[in-house]
Amino acid sequence: MSVIKQKKIQYIENLSGRIKNANLIFCDYSGISVANVTKLKKNLMTHNAVFKVIKNRLFKRYADSAQIDIREFSVLKGPTAIAVTSDNFSESAKIISGAEDNSLVKIKGAIFENRFLSPADVKKIAKIPSKAHLLAELVGALGSPMSGLVHALRSVLSGFVYTLEAVEDKKK
């Protein structure tokens, strides 16, 4: 086996190790500067995501071996990079969507939970608030009735205390 073929096999194995059971966002990265790519990679790393340039032909080979349906993969035309994330897809989508808004990359599509998504779908997901934000809203919504009850009880008690003080002042 030739050295080049061994490198391609190793590339596919490395790629499959990273993206097995992961969510992917496909981007066209043409025209982006190295500084902007580095900045984009750092932003994605803060959310446990990786931005990697891929070879279309080798990704198609991986997709065949992983039984990923590539009929809808018009995304594998031209220069392609993928953002790979396993746990925080919406945050990665926000970062990539922001980069697209700044004309750094162009979203081609995504694979989310083994389903192909269009660029419009990725942008919709990017608008969804983060899990942490939604949990904070839930805690606030659950805490609101409790704080209302505390304020109501406090006002009843303070009204009672003011009445007692008034009665005491009247007796003096």
d(CA 57, CA 9): 12
In sign, the C-alpha dihedral spanning 82, 86, 88, 89 is positive
Cα separation, 40 vs 66, whole angstroms: 28
Alpha helices for 66-118 (secondary structure H): 89-101
Tell me which CATH homologous superfamily contains domain 3-128: Ribosomal protein L10, N-terminal RNA-binding domain (3.30.70.1730)
Predicted local confidence at residue 144, as pLDDT: 73
Q: Taking the domains of the chain in order of start, what are their residue ranges?
A: 3-128, 129-172
| pLDDT number for residue 71 | 60
Beta strand ranges found along the chain (DSSP E): 23-28, 49-54, 80-85, 106-112, 115-117
What is the residue whose two structure tokens read 């008034």? 166
pLDDT at 78: 85
Query: What is the pTM (predicted TM-score) of this model?
Result: 0.71
Tens digit of each residue's pLDDT, the chain (172 residues): 677 777 777 777 776 666 777 888 888 888 888 888 888 889 888 888 888 888 888 778 777 776 676 666 677 888 888 888 877 888 888 888 888 777 788 888 888 887 888 888 888 888 888 778 888 888 887 777 777 777 777 777 777 777 878 888 888 7
